[in-house]
Structure 1
Amino acid sequence: MTRINLYQSFVLHQYQFDVWEFEPHNHNFFEIIFIEEGTGYHTINNVRFKYKPKDIFLIAPEDVHNFEIEDRTTFTYFKFTETLFTQNKQLPDRAYWLHRIEHILHNPNLMPGDVINDENDRKLIWQIHEVVLSEYVSDEPYSKNIISNTISTILSLIARNIERSYRKNRTKYTKKSSRIDDVLSYIRTNVYEHELMKTNEIANSFGMSANSINALFKRETGDSIRQYIENYRMQLVQYRLRNTDQTIAEIAYELGFTDESHLTKVFKKHYQITPKVFKKANNAPA
């Protein structure tokens, strides 16, 4: 499996192919892929589906993907790492941006494919895409700030479309399944707010007692609420260790651990390895 690394915070590439020239690969950065023209198939993590002009794809680090081209296709790629946002002091701080992208990546209803379901949002994103193209080519003063702001806006629109699809798909569930799905969504959305992660607070949000919500959660997921929250936090810790330059102490603070030692103890219990060793093994700065 080919892994491609990006050593800049943002790169824009445009390709036109009759035949796809790259083997399936993953990478250490995000990609927003715009289909300017052409048709074919896009496979992401072994899921294959047809693409067409004006489709938009979000590819996360570790996603494996490739294209099969039917009609000559022109692609525009926005490739970026989280440092694109954290270098811009005019944007919300790093933690806010990480919360946004993590919510997108860990939403279980995000399936491979065109990520936009609202045509007005699609038109808006394509307009923003033109701004990014212009600023990238011109490289004028403040171009980097403008690009980071516009990419942040695109990600917010993508997140809105994912949430819209999530709410629409909830109608397929039974009442019981819908209730547990609401609880899971609450946890994923508020995992950074430590007070809101207390069992009593979660129960109050759904008009239930702590015992009732614990029983429901255990019955529907097989885990206690506390165990689920810990497991989910471990997913976020792994993501940050792989894809950001945050220190272990910073990660521990943001995700509600007492200190770096506490995080190390929990991480080692889950993965039999310390965060420091994991970070080094994944080619990230310690």
Structure 2
Amino acid sequence: MEIRNLYRPFELDLVEVNTYEARSHKNTFFEMVFVLEGTGAQLINKHKLPYASDKLFLIFPEDSHTFEVDTPSKFFFIRFNDSYLKTQERVWVKKLEYIFHNHNHSPGCILKTVCDKPLVRALVEALIREHINRQPQQEEVIEQLMNTIITIAARNITLLPPSALEHNKSTQALPLLNYIHHYIYEPKMLKVEAMAEHFNFSPTYIGEYFKAQTGESLQEYITAYKLKLIETRLRFTDMQINEIVHELGFSDASHLNRLFKKYKGMSPSAFKKAHGNA
């Protein structure tokens, strides 16, 4: 299978095709595809769904991906790699985390709000104009437009159930899962007493309820989610261990290191090196 790389922080590409060679490939970067015109099918990881104009798709690194084109189509591609993410403020990385950890990577348009489709189309058309016309501060304007599109994508994904719900997790657990995601940076809000008060449960019952709905204990889920966030920091930012310790509420660096090694089989520094971010 073909592996495609990106040699710049980001890349924009307008593609018009009558047919599309059905050769599946994998990227080493992130890709957003907006359909300006045409019909056909999008295939990601052996899943297949139709596409049409005003659809926005997300393609993640290592996803197997291709299109089948039925009518002449026009696609606009926004591609960006981890070096682009590193240039953004860390609050931006937090915005992206919902995409990384809660989208199920299956095919299909992620724009669930009807009014967002013409908005994204207008932003894409503005990107195309800005990309073609050489104007002062061109790159800054392009980045602002790109970031706005990604933020809209993240907003729409928050309307979808977390992918974890596909694995024997009841939709009854969705409010609890969203609460954990929202307060993951505030350890005191993740204490059983605080959660019980918020949901009007007794402290002794909320853990039983969560496990009955999800198959995991509260602490197991919180730990697993924190580990995903640590992985994101190690792969896509230049944050130091002590900064991650402070942000995620660990007692100290040794606590984070022990936890990470217990579940991942290697230290955070080894993980960072293995993923090319040493």
TM over 0.5: yes
> Which residue is 1:157 aligned to?
152
2:219 pairs, out of 200, 213, 226, with 226
Q: Percent identity?
A: 36
Instruction: Summarize the alignment of residues 247-286 of structure 1 with structure 2, pairs less than 5 Å apart.
Output: 247-282=240-275, 284-286=276-278
1:184 pairs, out of 167, 171, 177, with 177
- Per-residue CA deviations over 1:204-254 (Å, capped at 9, x if unaligned) read 211112211111112222322111100111122223333334334433333
Q: Secondary structure at the match of 1:71?
A: coil
2:200 pairs, out of 190, 194, 207, with 207
Cα distance in 2 between the residues matched to 1:47 and 1:243: 27
Q: Which runs of 5+ in 2 are unaligned?
A: none
Q: Secondary structure at the match of 1:254?
A: helix
Q: Secondary structure at the match of 1:66?
A: strand
Q: Secondary structure at the match of 2:158?
A: helix
Q: Secondary structure at the match of 1:203?
A: helix
Q: Secondary structure at the match of 1:153?
A: helix
Cα distance in 1 between the residues matched to 2:243 and 2:27: 24
Cα distance in 2 between the residues matched to 1:278 and 1:114: 33
Cα 1:152–1:193, aligned 2, differ >3 Å: closer, same or farther?
A: farther
Query: Following TM superposition, by how much is the alpha carbon of 1:111 offset from its aligned partner in structure 2, in angstroms?
Result: 4.4
Query: Following TM superposition, by how much is the alpha carbon of 1:35 offset from its aligned partner in structure 2, in angstroms?
Result: 1.4
2:121 pairs, out of 117, 126, 136, with 126
Cα distance in 1 between the residues matched to 2:5 and 2:114: 33
Matched, 1:79 2:79: yes
Q: Which runs of 5+ in 1 are unaligned?
A: 171-175
Cα distance in 2 between the residues matched to 1:76 and 1:227: 40
Instruction: Summarize the alignment of residues 158-173 of structure 1 with structure 2, pairs less than 5 Å apart.
Output: 158-166=153-161
Query: Following TM superposition, by how much is the alpha carbon of 1:194 offset from its aligned partner in structure 2, in angstroms?
Result: 2.6
Instruction: Report how many residues are paired.
Output: 273
Query: Following TM superposition, by how much is the alpha carbon of 1:70 offset from its aligned partner in structure 2, in angstroms?
Result: 1.9
Q: Secondary structure at the match of 2:71?
A: strand
Report if aligned partners of 1:85, 1:148 keep a CA contact under 8 Å in 2. no
Query: Following TM superposition, by how much is the alpha carbon of 1:257 offset from its aligned partner in structure 2, in angstroms?
Result: 2.5
TM normalised by structure 2 equals 0.86
Query: Following TM superposition, by how much is the alpha carbon of 1:178 offset from its aligned partner in structure 2, in angstroms?
Result: 4.4
> Which residue is 1:112 aligned to?
107
